């Protein structure tokens, strides 16, 4: 990102296209403004308007550095001299003091905290919180009712929490990030109890710190007793959605009213917590669990129930979104698995297939394989990938697979002609945009030998592995993807399949990765396939996936492997 050293520009910046100002949440004492990736103001709260003596219209779309940031005597600062702008470009949370210029030209001494924050467009920006102060003096604006953290730090913590929880749909990743924000910064212990889809309670996370590092106590995790409906114990009430509670081990000294109270008594004993706050984690429609903050090492009791509730509320929205995503993903994955055929085998051939959905950060949908007998005794084999990674892609894949089956069965034509028919039909009778695929025929020839005749529509080449470990990528029969709408000439190629060889068809998720080239991925596949050539077919596929699939893979992977018999 380039830095303009000039200051005092006389032009007025243009607000972001199609953007409309909207107020940030109000606070008692602090002004807030949000800047986009160019440090232009895109959101403000009313306190910022009041403190700066400027309306939202005056602030919106302006370069925050040029409009506000000044030196101690009101002089313009270059961007490299401005600690707030340096923090913005560094992308880290920083706290300092300085001067902002108000609308009437006067200077406002402020203490500020700037923290990275995604804007409405999803691109990186920063949230700036500022409070009037005398530079050089303490800026602790909080009072006893607001808890141990100063006001600006509280607001910064909430901004960081929101950014973290909205940046992932992985529940465990979100919880780990949340814990690292508050331990040991705010408390000594964090416990997260979640209610599962089956209405059972599971202690998902127990974390503390040692020498400043977060430590996860897996020995304290696990299933919990059911939630009693009449229990007055703090955790039981929170899991039923009751108000947040400050508590301690003394609450569990008496006779337990349920099994979950026994578990809580053991938790206080094992952690040494002398005080804790417990808040319900609420989703949009139901209670999702409970969040516990506890103190053991620091002498003062935990008391900031308002901050705990704010964090629990943000955690609830994030968990709700993550669960909804997981349900949608499960529907898509289940649909795709049911659309993939069960392989029944063929004379003289052993077959094995694997489908591995994309990582949780991605979605599933478009990859498929197929194998089915043809009227003339040949075996049709297919591997393909429809563009997209969602439920629509899975539905489009089902259309393409069914059409290809119908054409393959109905027409005794070379593979290239079948692919050509499919290509013509996609444009007129489906909504499929693009797809890559290989359609092949495994044909029996004299002396019990077999041959593969195939056409390739923009798909990674099949790999042929002999029993003694020689490998060759079948580059022939290559043509453009189907669904482009552009007339294309398609050809076939033919290869004889030696005894005990392995023919591997796969989708690009096996070899493509953001961290290396396609050539590197193909070479990795070839080397590992050669080393595994003598393994049984199922072990061959399973080991190949574990060794070749990139760690940063963001796509589905489908494998279809066929092995010829030893006759010949």
Each residue's pLDDT tens digit, 349-367: 899 988 887 665 445 568 8
Check residue 202 and give its pLDDT.
92
Whose CA is closest to 561, among 508, 520, 503, 516? 503
Q: What is the pLDDT of residue 361?
A: 41
Q: Which two tokens stand for residue 58?
A: 């005056």
Q: pLDDT under 50 in the chain at which residues?
A: 1-22, 28, 135-147, 361-362, 568
Cis? peptide before 184, omega within 30° of 0: yes
The pLDDT of residue 148 is 55
pLDDT at 496 (0 to 100): 95
Q: What's the whole-model pTM score? A: 0.50
- Name the token pair of 204: 């998902």
Residues 72-111 pLDDT 10s: 778 888 887 888 888 887 777 778 888 899 998 888 888 8
Task: Answer yes or no: are the C-beta atoms of 380 and 439 closer than 8 Å.
Answer: yes
Strands (E), 92-234: 94-101, 107-118, 124-132, 189-195, 201-210, 213-216, 222-223
Phi, psi angles (nearest 5°) of residue 22: -140, 140
Please tell me the predicted confidence (pLDDT) of residue 495: 96
For residue 425, what are the contacts with CB-CB under 8 A and spacing of at least 6? 403, 407
- DSSP code per residue over 314-329: HHHHHHHHHHHHHHHH
Helix, coil or strand: residue 6: coil
**Contact status, residue 190 vs residue 205, Cβ threshold 8 Å:** yes
Contact 150/144 with Cβ under 8 angstroms? no
> Which residue matches tokens 């039923």?
240
Please report the pLDDT score of residue 150 as a whole number. 63
- Region for 410 from its dihedrals, namely left if φ exceeds 0, alpha if ψ lies in -120 to 50, beta otherwise: alpha
Closest listed residue to residue 203, CA positions, set 216, 184, 187, 212: 216
The one-character DSSP state at 268 is: H
CA distance linking residue 556 with residue 330, whole number of Å = 14
For residues 219-248, one letter each, b for 16 or more C-beta atoms within 10 angstroms of the residue's C-beta and e for the rest, the string is: ebeeebbebbeebebbbbbbbeeeebbbbb
Dist. CA 523–CA 510, nearest whole Å: 12
Alpha helices in 369-472 (DSSP H): 391-410, 415-429
CA separation for the pair 233, 514 (Å, rounded): 51
Which residues sit opposite 126 in a β-bridge?
A: 35, 116
All residues at 6 or more sequence positions from 382 whose CB lies less than 8 Å from its CB, including other chains: 368, 369, 370, 371, 401, 404, 437, 438, 439, 440, 505, 560
Q: Report which of 251, 281, 243 is spatially closest to residue 268, judged by C-alpha positions.
A: 251
CA-based nearest residue to 128, from 114, 116, 118: 114
């Amino acid at each position: 990102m380039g830095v303009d050293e000039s200051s005092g520009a006389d032009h007025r910046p243009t607000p972001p296209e199609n953007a409309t100002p909207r107020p940030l949440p109000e606070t008692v004492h602090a002004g807030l403004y949000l800047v986009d990736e160019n440090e232009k103001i895109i959101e403000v709260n009313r306190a910022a308007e009041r403190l700066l003596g400027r309306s939202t219209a005056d602030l919106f779309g302006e370069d925050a550095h040029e409009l506000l940031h000044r030196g101690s005597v009101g002089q313009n600062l270059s961007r490299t001299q401005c600690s707030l702008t340096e923090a913005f470009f560094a992308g880290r949370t920083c706290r300092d003091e300085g001067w902002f210029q108000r609308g009437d030209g006067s200077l406002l001494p402020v203490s500020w905290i700037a923290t990275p924050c995604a804007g409405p467009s999803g691109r990186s920006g920063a949230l700036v919180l500022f409070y009037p102060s005398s530079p050089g003096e303490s800026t602790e604006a909080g009072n006893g009712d607001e808890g141990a953290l100063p006001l600006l730090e509280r607001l910064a913590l909430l901004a960081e929490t929101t950014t973290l929880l909205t940046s992932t749909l992985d529940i465990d990743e979100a919880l780990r990030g949340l814990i690292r924000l508050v331990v040991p910064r705010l408390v000594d212990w964090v416990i997260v109890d979640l209610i599962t889809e089956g209405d059972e309670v599971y202690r998902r996370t127990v974390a503390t710190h040692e020498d400043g590092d977060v430590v996860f106590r897996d020995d304290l995790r696990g299933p919990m007793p059911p939630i009693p409906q009449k229990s007055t114990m703090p955790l039981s009430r929170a899991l039923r959605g009751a108000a947040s509670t400050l508590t301690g081990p003394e609450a569990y000294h008496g006779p337990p009213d349920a099994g979950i109270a026994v578990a809580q008594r053991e938790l206080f004993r094992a952690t040494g917590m002398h005080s804790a706050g417990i808040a319900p984690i609420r989703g949009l429609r139901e209670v999702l669990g409970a969040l516990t903050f506890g103190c053991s090492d620091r002498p003062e009791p935990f008391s900031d129930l308002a901050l705990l509730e704010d964090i629990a509320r943000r955690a609830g929205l994030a968990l709700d979104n993550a669960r909804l995503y997981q349900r949608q993903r499960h529907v898509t994955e289940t649909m795709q698995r049911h659309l993939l055929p069960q392989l029944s085998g063929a004379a003289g051939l052993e077959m094995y297939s694997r489908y591995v959905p994309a990582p949780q950060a991605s979605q599933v949908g478009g990859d498929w394989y197929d194998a089915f007998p043809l009227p003339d005794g040949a075996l049709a084999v297919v591997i393909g990938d429809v563009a997209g990674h969602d439920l629509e892609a899975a539905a489009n894949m089902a259309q393409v697979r069914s059409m290809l089956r119908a054409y393959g069965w109905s027409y005794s034509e070379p593979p290239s002609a079948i692919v050509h028919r499919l290509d013509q039909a996609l444009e007129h009778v489906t909504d499929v945009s693009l797809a890559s695929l290989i359609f092949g025929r495994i044909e029996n020839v004299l002396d019990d030998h077999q041959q593969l005749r195939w056409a390739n529509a923009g798909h990674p080449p099949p790999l042929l592995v002999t029993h003694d470990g020689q490998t060759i990528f079948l580059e022939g029969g290559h043509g453009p993807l189907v669904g482009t709408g552009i007339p294309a000439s398609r050809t076939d190629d033919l290869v004889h399949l030696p005894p005990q060889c392995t023919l591997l068809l796969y989708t690009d998720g096996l070899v493509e990765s953001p961290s290396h080239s396609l050539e590197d991925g193909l070479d990795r596949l070839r080397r590992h396939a050669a080393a595994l050539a003598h393994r049984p077919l199922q072990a061959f596929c399973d080991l190949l996936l574990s060794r070749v699939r990139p760690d940063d893979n963001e796509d589905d992977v489908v494998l279809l492997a066929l092995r010829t018999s030893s006759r010949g």
